[in-house]
Structure 1
Amino acid sequence: MRRLLMLTTGCLIFLCQAGGSIAGLPDEYPALFDITDVASDDELNIRAAPNSRADIIGSLPPDRTDVEVLRLSKDRKWARVGLPEQSGWVAVRYLAPQPVQPDNMIPVRLRCNGTEPFWSLHIPRHDQAEFERMPDPTQGFSIVWQSAPAGRTDREMAAILSTMQVRAKCS
């Protein structure tokens, strides 16, 4: 009986300390999340440190999607999120992970911007891209093929740096 109790306790400790897939969280970061379980008249506080007593340095609206989580705290109760010029922490219990996409796909909702000249690239779906260079109008493209370079293991950068063939949409 004592042996069974020790074995059960050991399994529970292992499961509690195991990777994100057991807890329903992604195994790799950064990852995208949506805010959940925050009242419509409230907001999710962003704190300076991973605890509820830390200073509030910002907030996120209750319907916010595409929140990029950079990493989790050691106890996996807090998520580090990026802010302009800094980062902060939000409680994981108010975040719902978005589905993980395949390694050879460009991240959906990817948005890149540049200057001199001013330009932007937005990929709202796996098969669609929009490119704008000021003062020209936005151009739409269909993504017809994408792949990751052989030997790459970092899923986002592999897809971003891969060769992508696009075909302009005819209007």
Structure 2
Amino acid sequence: MATTSRELQPVRRVYAVGRIVRGMVTVLAVAALVVIVGTVAEFGRIMIDDWRYGRPRTTHLIGYAGLPAERAGQPSRFIAMNLDRQVVIVALPGGDPAQAQTWQGPYLFGLHEDLTPVVLSLEDIDGDGLADLLVTIHYEQLVYLNRDGTFRLPTPEEWHRLAQERSK
């Protein structure tokens, strides 16, 4: 018995449908793999931040900022905390808890922002010879200027002057 082309055509359709189904399964498998890898990576990042910063996210810095209480030779201690999305900064000038200063930082909006670490550093931003406090959240920085034995946010005029100096 001879096979005609009419008899072979349904086989080609089944083969084409099989390729489409295999392609869809492959796309779904790759999408599932991307979701799983992303979830595992995010979980790993949170675990590393838990080990590094704890819960609530807390970081500290020890350094000389030119505060009057440091005259005894003791460095100041700075602590930044992310308390349920509210950034709080505590300074112990010269390490003396009796002279503690506290500043309320920004409120963080967004999913899982209660797990965002706040990083501190000291740097002379305005060139006055005193270390200013830099607060880094994600990749943005807040500057607290060192004035009169305490830290404060710059005025609009100071921001304008600082921006001009940095653009040079």
| TM-score band, normalised by shorter chain | 0.3 to 0.5
**Which has the higher Rg, Structure 1 or Structure 2?**
2
Query: Normalising to structure 2: TM-score of the pair?
Result: 0.36
Higher helix share: 2
Query: Normalising to structure 1: TM-score of the pair?
Result: 0.36
